[in-house]
């Protein structure tokens, strides 16, 4: 696995780099149109200049206007861009996520607005889902409250193990060496659901490491598969183990249980997307800029 390094981008650097809305808009313009060598309308190479009082730029020759916020998380927002950028900064420096109330207090907006900002950020996150290869661990987990903690009239019957009547299953695949993870909320853990996802996200011929669950049976045709039998208290078997993907599950459940407390089934895929992003960019020296690049495209 890649060496873990801390996020080195500090608050002092952020304030120095993005002091006001104009600088933030210029950053969005550079990310969106920075590689454009000429005006797409008149082919002029004179460049674009900011239109005073508006979030747009226009060609120096033909006055063709471009709106860098269009199609991004910042489109049609009434919140100052400097607040958006600060909210994104808080989002990335929080180890286990940031709640809507915490964000609203930090940037001075209502909790409802803070919730919308977080929702928009999660929607625009782009995770690398190119096929995994080499040694790949696969496992599934179930997200939901513990039955023993529920009131007597809210307990779910027969909810143990993979009987997920009161929980939502999530499939995770992680590539050893790089530590890159792909995770998806799934409707069930049947073979018909699990195997097409695995086949589309793991290169054929890879070394597949899993537990003894029979939903993975048959993948030996496409992969070199090794198994550790959890039912027999076997957690390593040669190279076979799911300890790395279990580490990701601990991050996912710590974030949901610690910061968000309760997540609905409807929005769980967005939260999983967020936690995958945090996990995959945990070694980045500036997760803020990595997320900004996602949101501006």
Q: How would DSSP label each residue in 1-68?
A: -PPP------HHHHHHH--SHHHHHHHHHHHHHTT--S-TTT---S-EEEPTTSS-EEETTT--EE-T
Mean pLDDT, residues 36-44 taken together: 89
Q: What is the pLDDT of residue 110?
A: 95
From edge to edge, which strands make up the β-sheet containing 224-227?
181-185, 168-175, 135-143, 207-210, 224-227
Q: What is the pLDDT of residue 256?
A: 93
Mean pLDDT, residues 95-117 taken together: 93
- In angstroms, the CA 163 to CA 37 distance is 57
Q: Which two tokens stand for residue 36?
A: 């454009």
**Residue 61 predicted with pLDDT over 70:** yes
| Three-class secondary structure of residue 189 per DSSP | coil
**Residue 148 predicted with pLDDT over 70:** no
**Residue 158 predicted with pLDDT over 80:** no
From 68-77, 94-103, 152-161, 210-219, the region with the lowest mean pLDDT: 152-161
- Percent of the chain residues past pLDDT 90, beyond the cut: 70
- Percent of the chain residues past pLDDT 70, beyond the cut: 91
- In angstroms, the CA 135 to CA 208 distance is 6
Q: What count of other Cβ atoms lies within 10 Å of the Cβ of residue 293?
A: 11
Q: Tokens 């967020």 identify what position?
A: 274
Q: Which two tokens stand for residue 151?
A: 């009131």
Q: What is the pLDDT of residue 103?
A: 95
- pLDDT band (50, 70, 90) for residue 159: low
For 185-212, write each residue's pLDDT tens digit: 999 999 999 999 999 999 999 999 999 9
Q: Which two tokens stand for residue 285?
A: 């020296």
Mean pLDDT, residues 95-107 taken together: 93
Q: What is the pLDDT of residue 1?
A: 43
From 105-119, 134-148, 176-190, the region with the lowest mean pLDDT: 134-148
Q: What is the pLDDT of residue 180?
A: 96
**Residue 184 predicted with pLDDT over 70:** yes
Q: What is the pLDDT of residue 2?
A: 44
From 28-37, 121-130, 147-156, the region with the lowest mean pLDDT: 147-156
Backbone angles phi, psi at 173, to 5 degrees: -135, 130
Backbone angles phi, psi at 252, to 5 degrees: -65, -45
Helices within 40-187 (DSSP H only)? 81-93, 100-107, 111-124
Mean pLDDT, residues 59-88 taken together: 93
Q: What count of other Cβ atoms lies within 10 Å of the Cβ of residue 146?
A: 10
DSSP state of 114: H
**Residue 46 predicted with pLDDT over 80:** yes
For 237-294, write each residue's pLDDT tens digit: 888 899 999 999 999 999 998 899 889 899 999 999 999 999 999 988 899 999 998 8
Mean pLDDT, residues 140-165 taken together: 71
Rounded to the nearest integer, the mean pLDDT of the chain is 90
């Amino acid at each position: 696995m890649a060496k873990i390094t801390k996020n080195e981008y500090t608050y002092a650097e952020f304030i120095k780099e993005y002091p006001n809305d104009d600088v933030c808009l210029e950053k969005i313009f550079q990310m969106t149109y920075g590689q454009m060598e000429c005006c797409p309308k008149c082919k002029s190479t004179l460049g674009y200049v900011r239109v005073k009082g508006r979030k747009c730029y226009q060609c120096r020759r033909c006055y063709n206007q471009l709106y860098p916020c269009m199609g991004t998380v910042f489109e049609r927002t009434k919140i100052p861009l400097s607040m958006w950028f600060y909210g994104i900064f808080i989002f990335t420096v929080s180890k286990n996520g940031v709640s809507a109330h915490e964000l609203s207090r930090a940037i001075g907006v209502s909790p409802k607005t803070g919730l919308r900002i977080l929702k928009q950020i999660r929607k625009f996150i782009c995770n690398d889902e190119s096929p995994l290869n080499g040694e790949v661990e696969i496992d599934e987990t179930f997200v939901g409250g513990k039955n023993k903690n529920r009131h007597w009239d809210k307990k779910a019957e027969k909810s143990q193990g993979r009987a997920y009547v009161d929980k939502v299953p999530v499939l995770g695949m992680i590539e050893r060496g790089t530590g890159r993870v792909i995770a998806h909320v799934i409707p069930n853990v049947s073979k018909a659901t699990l195997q097409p996802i695995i086949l589309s996200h793991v290169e054929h011929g890879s070394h597949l490491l899993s537990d003894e669950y029979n939903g993975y049976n048959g993948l030996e045709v496409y992969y070199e598969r090794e198994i550790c039998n959890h039912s027999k208290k076997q957690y390593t078997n040669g190279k076979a183990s799911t300890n790395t993907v279990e580490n990701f599950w601990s991050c996912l459940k710590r974030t949901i249980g610690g910061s968000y407390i309760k997540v609905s089934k409807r929005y769980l895929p967005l939260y999983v997307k967020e936690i995958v992003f945090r996990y995959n960019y945990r070694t980045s020296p500036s997760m803020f800029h990595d997320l900004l690049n996602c949101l501006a495209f």
